[in-house]
Amino acid sequence: MPLAELMSQVQVLPKIDKLRLMQFLATELVKEEDTNFFVEQQEYPVWSPYNCSEAANILMDLLATKQQEKNG
């Protein structure tokens, strides 16, 4: 199947299927590069902003400072 035809078929897919396709393609690319990079059925930690109130407080302080500088 030509790439142009494949791309037109991908465009009409629902969002969830496009995300699954991205995951599949990323996994396939990794398999081609290094077979030990990701291990199937293995969990990998991902950073999340949840429960990061210290970072949120720093940002709020920065915004407050910038607002005060702007107001004079």
The tens digit of pLDDT for each residue in 1-17 reads 899 999 999 999 999 99
The tens digit of pLDDT for each residue in 14-34 reads 999 999 999 999 988 877 876
The tens digit of pLDDT for each residue in 22-69 reads 999 998 887 787 666 677 888 888 888 788 888 889 999 999 999 999
Domain locations in the chain as residue ranges: 3-71
**Which pTM value belongs to this model?**
0.45
27-33 — which CB contacts under 8 Å span 24+ positions? none
Largest Cα separation within the chain, whole Å, is 63
